[in-house]
Amino acid sequence: MRAWEVRAGALGLHDDEAARPGAGEVALRVTHTGVCGSDTAKLLRPADFALPEPWRPGHEVVGTTPAGEAAAVDPLVPCARPDRCDRCAAGDTHLCPDLRRLGWDLPGGFAERVAVPASALHPLPRGVDPLHAVLADPAAVAVHGLRCSPVGPPGRLAVVGAGPVGLLTALYAHRLGWRTTVVHRDGRAPGPALAAVLPAALRPRSAAREGAFDAVVDAASGGDAAPLETAIALVRDGGTVVVQNAYAPGVALPTPLRDLFRRSIRLVGSFSHCRRGPGDFPLALSLLADAPEAARHLVTPAGPLDALPTALTRSGPRTTRQALVLPE
């Protein structure tokens, strides 16, 4: 089978052995894989990162099971031993010390087939387009930020960042009853078609009122600390800031700690998603089933497997996720 892999510091399309499922695994025929921004820099400049080799990326995967069922893949593979792991017992599988991830520690979905744990497969709800289902992982991240963080009862919410995770956070917040404002960089507003189906107000940073929100979710991209600085400025005294932003390792807290103390602001990290209660991933698929028009504007086909290099360098709206589409 064909698969994109980083070998000897270079990304290439290789002929590889077909995926061989182990115990408890299924060989999934990949139909769609999202091109996530977290992978882009590593794929464009693999020599700059300490990547495992060979590294096969792709963690936003949708495919067809051997039984012919369309399914999305939860990319998190915890130890799943609740008798031995307190985090897995609590449903906080994203914090499992033995966590492995599809497209990082395990071969990912930029391939014609991929072996995945059967427990990671989620059949698509009726009416969910497989193309839209590549948003299940970022939607689960969005769900997790509000469902598993101490944000209090629904009130006034600001979401900093108008990329897929930020806009999916706004969709989920609306379902929960929040009055939501998406705060974007000046000149970076979502297009009118997406804005028309988004249940949230849109404000550039320069027009967002400081201290006006009960909770703020930082869902921007973390090249510098500006998004978190914005989030802390927007939240009211006594409010909560949820950090979903995967900041680069060298980015530091942009505000004096005394300000957090004096304003009694709760600063909460929110990494990935978990399986507590009903689980973030099933709720994410339900969210996509309820919002097909919004999902349609949040993902766009990038071409077949061969098109990955073009997708990595293609300029386009930051509000959308690109997805490779593998033909039958």
Q: What is the mean pLDDT of residues 127-147?
A: 97
Contact 204, 182 (CB under 8 A): no
Side-chain-facing half-sphere of 111: CA atoms under 13 Å: 28
The Cα 107–Cα 88 span in angstroms is 23
pLDDT digits (tens, 9 = 90+) for 23-47: 999 999 999 999 998 888 888 888 7
Q: Please give the pLDDT value at position 52.
A: 85
List the chain domain ranges. Answer: 2-136+279-325, 149-269
Q: How many CB atoms lie within 10 A of CB 18?
A: 11
pLDDT of residue 49: 79
Tell me the pairing of strands 60-64 and 25-35.
Answer: antiparallel
pLDDT tens column, 71-107? 999 999 999 888 999 999 999 999 999 999 999 999 9
The mean pLDDT value for 158-182 works out to 97
Question: Does 316 have pLDDT greater than 70?
Answer: no
Can you tell me the mean pLDDT for 50-79?
Answer: 95
Q: What is the mean pLDDT of residues 3-9?
A: 92
User: 278: Cβ–Cβ under 8 A, 6 or more apart, which residues?
Assistant: none
pLDDT in the model for residue 300: 92
| pLDDT tens digits, one per residue of 183-214 | 998 888 888 888 888 999 999 999 999 999 99
51 near 41, Cβ under 8 Å? no
Which pLDDT tens digit goes with each residue over 112-131? 999 999 999 999 999 999 99
User: Which pLDDT belongs to residue 223?
Assistant: 82
Whether pLDDT at 317 is above 70? no
Q: For residue 38, what pLDDT is reported?
A: 82
Q: How would you write 294-308 as a 3-class SS string?
A: HHHHHEEEEECHHHH
Domain 149-269: CATH superfamily, name plus number: NAD(P)-binding Rossmann-like Domain (3.40.50.720)
323 vs 307: CA distance, rounded Å: 10
Residue 34: C-alpha distances to residues 151, 164, 304 (Å): 30, 12, 12
**C-alpha separations of 217 from 100, 190, 196, 322 in Å:** 26, 18, 22, 23
Amino acid sitting at position 221: S
Closest CA to 100 of 76, 120, 135, 68: 76
Name 153's Cβ contacts closer than 8 Å, sequence gap at least 6. Answer: none
The CATH fold of domain 2-136+279-325: Quinone Oxidoreductase; Chain A, domain 1 (3.90.180)
**Inter-helix orientation angle 280-290/164-176, to 10°:** 90
pLDDT band (50, 70, 90) for residue 50: confident
Computed over every residue of the chain, the mean pLDDT equals 93
Q: Is the predicted pLDDT of residue 315 greater than 60, yes or no?
A: no
Single out the residue of 267, 178, 270, 179 nearest to residue 229, CA to CA: 267
- Other CB atoms within a 10 A radius of the CB of residue 106 amount to 17
3-state secondary structure of 55: strand
Backbone region of residue 34 per phi and psi (left: phi > 0; alpha: psi in -120 to 50; beta: other values): beta
